[in-house]
Each structure stands twice: as C-alpha cells, then as structure tokens.
Chain A
C-alpha cells in the first residue's frame, strides 16, 4: 500500500491508495487501484475536514469522464495555437507552463480511476489556469509561467474555500478526487 498525503495546510488526513480487496469484474477500472476513504482519526488538526469515513465507492460519480484527461490536455494544447497576446496580456502560455501542466496532469491521472475533464485558459502572466467543476464544487489549478513563479491550487464548494501553493501531482489527484466525490457528508 502506498499513501498519498494532502498538503498539510488543507488540514486533511492522508488518503490511502491500495488495491481493492475484491476486484469487481464488471467495471471498467476493475483491475486498477482505487482511492479509499481515510480514517478520520488521521486528521491532525481541527479545521475543515473534507474526507469522512464512508463506504468505499469505486466508480466516479461524474458521468462520461473516461476521456477527461485527453480533453483536459487538448484544452491545454489549444492555448498554444492562440495569438501571443491580446488586449488582456499574454494569450499563449509559456512552454514551461505547458510542459508543467501536461506532466502534472498525466501523473495525477495515474493515481485516479477516473479523471474529470478540465478547461484551460492562459493566465495573466502566461501561466496556465485549469478549472474543474462538479456541481457546487470547483478546483482551479494555476500553474506558473516559469520555474521561479508561483503556482497554487484553489478549491471551493458552496460553503468554503481553500488555497494552497503546494502543487504536486499527488495533491492535484487528491483535489480531483474530492471534486468527484465531495466530502461524502
């Protein structure tokens, strides 16, 4: 079993990542690992608790997201075809931002049994913004245009929002897992 830990600021417990105990045979991702709900006692601080103990559910609630990764990557690639600038500033992201996005998304997808389709646009500094929505839940991933730039991830639902500048493929996977499933309240 490997464990993926959310950024500490999120006050979230660890997410366990393991093989299913009994792999069902009638599901498209039956032979792949799945996210498990963590034990609430894993939380180390009082604060927003996104994940609660609940029965493991192995199928995404978001319908038709089998090509979500490809659609998201295509959305990123579409930006490269934009004019370099428009009246709001850069319209085309830097090559660094594009490479960062593609690498991050692919690696995050490798941890998830389903990947929601996101929509990209060029940021004011030629970085890349990628947004995902599922009902009231949103995740916005903002990637820097250069290695010394600032990246961050922002998440919100109908009641709260959080932001972190810890952007790694496993933290992105955790946010997209939350987007898909919510807090299971």
Chain B
C-alpha cells in the first residue's frame, strides 16, 4: 500500500516520551511538538492512529513513557499541517508533516523559529490527555 494522508475524522495519539514535556499539572507542553530529530522532519512527528491502536497499546510502542494525548487530524489540518502514513512503517503509525525543523534552529531565521514555536503551542493546546502514567519496558 502506498503512502496516504489520513482523513480529517481520524484521531491520532502523541506519546509523551519525556517527563519534561509535561507541566506539573499534567498539561502537555509545546516541547512535545517540536521537531527534535532529523527523522521526524523526514517522516513527520510520530503519532499513532487511534483506529488501529488504543492509548493503552501505545505503551508498547516506546521503551518508556509518561502519557498519551489525542489530537484530531481535522484540527491539525487547520494549522496547514497534514498527517501521513508512510510505508513501510507499521499501519498504526503516522507522522505530522509540515512542522519546521527545530533541531536545525541554528540555521533557521527568527521568524521560522517563531513559526515552530507557534505551531507547537497550538498543537499542545489541541492535545487532550488520554493516559497519564509512567511506564518502562521490561
């Protein structure tokens, strides 16, 4: 199956893999939506498709984590971002495309950094906590 763009009605999960992405009150911080790695710039910011993976099942996707938040693809699209599934990734995996490459911020203009910060803040505001629990793979 070729790469495809997710429909607006889909829900995706963003896994909270760093404790420092959470405020003390459990609110997800914008840092969870900054492109910190080249891989995330190429294939999109990693999310799981809720239609194929429950919030609980997200725990098996990473070595350790602190929570799971949901976002609606349609609302992500209002920020001029798209969510794509890329082959040969697992079918339940997708990536939010279009975020500025924050990991290269030394090469970005200040306005490009501002855009990265703005989008990260808006995505964080959209995110709804589904799971708040620390886990670590055996």
A contacts, CB < 8 Å to B:
79, 86-89, 91, 117, 119-122, 124-125, 129, 131, 133, 138, 140, 149-150, 152, 154, 156, 161-165
Contact = CB atoms under 8 A, between A and B. Distances in A.
Contacts of B29: 119, 121, 131
A161 B20 contact: no
A124 B103 contact: yes
Contacts of A79: 20
Per DSSP, are chain B's interface residues mostly helix, strand or loop, or mixed? helix
Interface residues of B, number: 24
B110 A152 contact: yes
A88 B102 contact: no
B31 A121 contact: yes
Given A129-B31, A150-B105, A154-B114, A119 B23 contact: yes
Interface string B79-118: 0000000000000000000000011011000110110011
A48 to B, nearest CB: 13
B66 to A, nearest CB: 12
A51 B113 CA distance: 25
A163 B21 contact: no
Nearest to A82: B20
Contacts of A131: 23, 29-31
Given A120-B20, A121-B29, A150-B105, A163 B36 contact: no
Given A131-B29, A131-B30, A140-B30, A163 B20 contact: no
B37 interface: yes
A86 B37 CA distance: 12
A162 B104 CA distance: 20
Contacts of A124: 34, 36, 102-103, 105
B20 A156 contact: no
27 contacts: A79-B20, A88-B18, A88-B36, A89-B103, A91-B18, A119-B20, A119-B29, A121-B29, A122-B20, A124-B102, A124-B105, A129-B31, A131-B30, A131-B31, A140-B117, A152-B113, A154-B114, A154-B117, A156-B117, A156-B118, A161-B114, A161-B117, A163-B111, A163-B113, A163-B114, A164-B110, A165-B110
